[in-house]
């Protein structure tokens, strides 16, 4: 992670933020998607892929704009989400 902004402003180090992220096998409870020292983590009985699938089912057709706000340095620019055997590609 090189930079994070919330509504266009840099993170305020005096605030507490809520985020949703991945759970990796073997990580301690207070590490979420490589974010360390997370306070009060909760595990939800849902995957991000199911959330995206449900959202698309409820709101299709979807025509997202690639805004360039998030950049994966190790993936193609039009790749927003994937899981083994299934790819969700928007461009």
Please write the tens of the pLDDT for every residue from 41-66.
Answer: 888 888 878 888 888 888 887 776 77
Q: DSSP states of 40-76 as a string?
A: S----S--HHHHHHHHHHHH-S------SSS--TTS-
| Residues 41 and 60 grouped into a single domain | no
| Residues 25 and 54 grouped into a single domain | no
| Residues 56 and 34 grouped into a single domain | no
What is the domain range of residue 9? 1-45
What pLDDT does 72 receive?
65
For each successive 10 residues of the chain (91 residues), what is the average pLDDT?
Answer: 82 86 82 85 82 86 71 64 46 36
What pLDDT does 90 receive?
40
Q: Would you say the pTM of this structure is higher than 0.85?
A: no
| Residues 75 and 40 grouped into a single domain | no
| Residues 6 and 19 grouped into a single domain | yes
From the number of C-beta atoms within 10 Å of its C-beta (0-12, 13-18, 19+), residue 32 rates as: buried
């Amino acid at each position: 992670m090189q930079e994070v902004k919330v509504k266009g402003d840099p993170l305020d180090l005096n605030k507490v933020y809520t985020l949703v992220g991945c759970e990796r096998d073997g990580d301690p409870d207070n590490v979420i998607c490589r974010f360390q020292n997370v306070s009060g983590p909760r595990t939800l009985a849902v995957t991000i892929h199911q959330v995206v699938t449900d959202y698309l089912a409820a709101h299709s057709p979807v025509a997202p704009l690639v805004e360039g706000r998030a950049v994966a340095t190790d993936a193609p620019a039009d790749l927003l989400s994937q899981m083994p055997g299934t790819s969700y590609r928007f461009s």
